[in-house]
A = this chain, B = another copy of it.
Amino acid sequence: MNLRTPGPTPIPANVRKALSQQMIDHRGVEFSEMQPRITERLQTLFETRNDVLILTTSGTGALEAVIVNTLSPGDRVLAVSIGAFGQRFGRIAETYGAEVTWLEVEWGEAARPEDIGRTLDENPGVTAVLVTHNETSTGVTNPLREIASVVKSRDKLLLVDAVSSLGSLPCPIDEWDLDVVATGSQKGWMVPPGLAMVSMSERGWAASARSKMPRFYLDLSAAKRYLEQGQTPWTPAISLYFALDVALEGLIEEGTAAIHARHARAGDRVRARVKSMGLRLFPADERFASNTVTAIRIPEGVEVADFRKRAREKHGVILAGGQAKLAQTIFRIGHLGHIPDEELDAALDAVEATLETSESTPRVVGRST
């Protein structure tokens, strides 16, 4: 199968082999050597000297960790949402009692830094900003550098969902001054889901010291304390650490610039082909189209579930559907992590062939402008 969801991503052979290693004692020598090595490599790829903590959860657990470790009930925060994951981030904050001011952007569009600046100026009580770097549900990448600049010039805490961007798209944490940043193993890291990685700045730790939201399993201070001994507070998902260790070795060798260039090329390749088929990209402005996932409007008359089913059954290609209100509107092609040209091309061939055999009204419904 050619798995083209925006996470989980295909696992390279050497990483799959690492997954099947026999268990070790998570309080023993091997683990305590592996964990600092992984952490250091993550810091390199995150382009940060901040602490990086690893949690045994998937991405949503990481978003929850970001919230509960830095905020208190009643805190006023700004949630910038451009899609389903932006909504989720803000809803987690609401669940734990934060007072959320929403800046909801039309799905398919990126957030405008000036709108964020104005909203912050209009809501001086806001102390933290929640933002999604790459919105997996719409295939849009926010201009995070500019957003960070607007947020930090107003001296706010910046909490970033970088689940599907960090390690694939440029996101230099220190250069952009991002306080708390979360990603997940099943994205560009080429590891199965189950591990989340969170980077914490000094400002993040200061917020953590004041924060009163309840936390136990997701407590990043405990994670930091145990990391100093090469351990985790609770039993970690050891087989995923083995996988991450091997995957990071390859990524470090490749280097961040090459990794980002590889994803940029993949994004270009997929978008060019999609447009050449006469299909329309979902993002309103192609400059903000994501280089890790492409969201494509489904031609009128084509039923998404049936289209995906035929792509899978006839061509062995797994495409992602749309989420929430986009379920009947788009399909998505993931291109992060393991993205050889031939697999992307095969996926796009399958899209084309499947649409051609669709019992539908004419396939070409317009061109992206």
Contact = CB atoms under 8 A, between A and B. Distances in A.
Interface of A: 1, 3, 5, 7-11, 16-17, 19-29, 56-61, 64, 91-92, 95-97, 184, 186, 192-194, 213-218, 233-240, 312, 318, 320-321
A9 B25 CA distance: 9
A91 B21 CA distance: 34
Pairs of residues from A and B, 10 with the lowest C-beta to C-beta distance, nearest first: A194-B237, A60-B234, A192-B239, A20-B20, A8-B23, A58-B235, A16-B20, A61-B217, A193-B235, A19-B19
A215 B95 contact: yes
A25 B320 contact: yes
Contacts of A216: 60, 64, 91-92, 95-96
Contacts of A22: 1, 3, 10-11, 16
A64 B235 contact: no
Nearest to A62: B217
A99 B240 CA distance: 37
Contacts of A238: 8, 186, 192-194
A40 B35 CA distance: 36
A334 to B, nearest CB: 10
A56 B62 CA distance: 12
A213 B215 CA distance: 11
Contact of A56 (B11, B16, B57): B57
A186 B95 CA distance: 30
B27 A192 contact: no
A141 B10 CA distance: 43
State the oligomeric state as a number of copies. Answer: 2
B23 A235 contact: no
A214 B95 CA distance: 6
A59 B239 contact: no
Nearest to A26: B8
B23 A10 contact: yes
Given A17-B20, A237-B240, 10 more contacts: A3-B23, A10-B22, A26-B193, A60-B217, A61-B234, A64-B216, A96-B216, A184-B235, A192-B237, A194-B240
B214 A214 contact: yes
21 contacts: A3-B25, A5-B25, A8-B23, A8-B26, A8-B238, A11-B22, A11-B23, A16-B22, A19-B19, A27-B320, A56-B61, A56-B193, A57-B217, A58-B235, A58-B237, A91-B216, A96-B214, A192-B237, A193-B238, A214-B214, A239-B240
B7 A193 contact: no
Contact of A239 (B7, B214, B239): B239
A55 B120 CA distance: 37
A152 B22 CA distance: 42
Given A22-B11, A58-B236, A217-B57, A312 B28 contact: yes
B11 A59 contact: no
A262 B243 CA distance: 32
Nearest to A4: B25
A95 to B, nearest CB: 5
A218 B96 CA distance: 13
A318 B28 contact: yes
Contacts of A10: 22-23
A194 B61 CA distance: 13
A26 B184 CA distance: 15
Contacts of A92: 216
